[in-house]
Amino acid sequence: MDKIRLDVLAANQVSTRTKAQDLIKAGKVKVNGRVMLKPSSLVDPKDQIEIDQRDMYVSRGAYKLKACLEENDVCLDHQVVLDIGASTGGFTQICLEWNALKVYSLDVGHFQLAPLLEEDDRVIKMEGKNGRYIEPDWFDDPIDFLCMDVSFISCKTILKPVLEKMKIRHCAILIKPQFECGPQYLNAKGVLKNTRVQRSILDDMQHFMFQYYEKIHIMESPIKGRNGNQEYMLYADKRRDLS
């Protein structure tokens, strides 16, 4: 029988191949009792695969939002959250860990949310929804907190309609500079190395958010993007027009 990649085989036990790769690199996967650290390792389909998922989040994004909430001493107790770009639900998972009352997990895609979050009564799954066309009547509750992680589009393209239509008290936004600049600034691997361009993007985001919030804090994400891009978490508080 032909051998297959370890990450492909391990993906049968977790939500996605990407998560399988993360678990392997973290030393959480054993093959026949031996820890394997390379996702590309070739294994026999009949090999015994053991995966330790204790204390693991459903995505790398969870660690990015967690760092932001800790850095800014954010309280989500009994708050209603909107998670845009929820994907497998890393941000949603952290919001629940922070004692959110309810999380609307919105994504333009389908069938991505991790089963453990789908089964949680506090999570409202909203598939096939594009945040650019958001309407307040999509939700049964006023939104207290917004978190967002989107790719292949500028954050502002979604934030503008969301913040214009909804008075959300505070928010945490993952900024991915590689999607905020033109392709001419990226190297062959899609990485933005120009620090002046990075700084300009962050200044522009801060200026944009100051239209809606009095307090803005931007920090480096503790985890880089998959291609090695430095990403940032922006936390905004004290909505200017909130009565």
Closest listed residue to residue 234, CA positions, set 145, 172, 156: 172
Where do the DSSP E strands lie in 76-187? 80-84, 102-107, 123-127, 145-148, 170-175
Mean pLDDT confidence for 216-221: 96
Whether 229 and 207 map to the same domain: the answer is yes
Whether 10 and 73 map to the same domain: the answer is no
Mean pLDDT confidence for 57-76: 93
Mean pLDDT confidence for 29-45: 89
Give pLDDT, residue 188. 80
Whether 99 and 206 map to the same domain: the answer is yes
Whether 94 and 19 map to the same domain: the answer is no
183-205 pLDDT, tens digit each: 887 888 888 888 899 899 999 99
Hunting for tokens 């989500």 — which residue is that? 76
What is the C-alpha to C-alpha distance for residues 122 and 96, in angstroms, rounded to an integer? 8
Give pLDDT, residue 55. 60
Whether 85 and 197 map to the same domain: the answer is yes
CA distances from 239 to 72, 109, 161, 242 (A): 16, 30, 15, 6
Whether 183 and 133 map to the same domain: the answer is yes
Cross-strand partners of 93: none
What is the C-alpha to C-alpha distance for residues 108 and 129, in angstroms, rounded to an integer? 5
The pair of three-digit structure tokens given for residue 93, joined into one six-digit string = 């998972």
The pair of three-digit structure tokens given for residue 66, joined into one six-digit string = 């967690």
Whether 81 and 181 map to the same domain: the answer is yes
Whether 86 and 174 map to the same domain: the answer is yes
Q: How many of the other CB atoms lie within 10 Å of CB of 147? A: 30
Last residue of a domain, one of 32, 51, 70: 51
User: What is the number of domains present in the chain?
Assistant: 2
What is the C-alpha to C-alpha distance for residues 143 and 134, in angstroms, rounded to an integer? 13
The helix/strand/coil state of 146 is: strand
* CATH for 167: 3.40.50.150
Whether 31 and 92 map to the same domain: the answer is no
CA distances from 62 to 36, 98, 99, 192, 210 (A): 24, 12, 15, 23, 26
Whether 150 and 45 map to the same domain: the answer is no
Last residue of a domain, one of 33, 51, 69: 51
DSSP string, 44-85: -TTS-EEE--TT--SSTHHHHHHHHHHHTT---TT-EEEEET
Whether 143 and 44 map to the same domain: the answer is no
Which range marks the domain in which residue 13 is found? 4-51
171 or 241, which is more confident: 171
* CATH for 41: 3.10.290.10
The pair of three-digit structure tokens given for residue 194, joined into one six-digit string = 């120009």
What is the C-alpha to C-alpha distance for residues 11 and 43, in angstroms, rounded to an integer? 13
Give pLDDT, residue 52. 81
The answer to which of 91-95, 135-139, 163-167, 189-193 has the lowest mean pLDDT is 189-193
Q: Which helix (H) or strand (E) is 220 found in, with range? A: strand 213-220
Whether 121 and 44 map to the same domain: the answer is no
105-157 pLDDT, tens digit each: 999 999 999 888 999 999 999 999 999 999 999 999 999 999 999 999 999 99
Mean pLDDT confidence for 10-15: 82
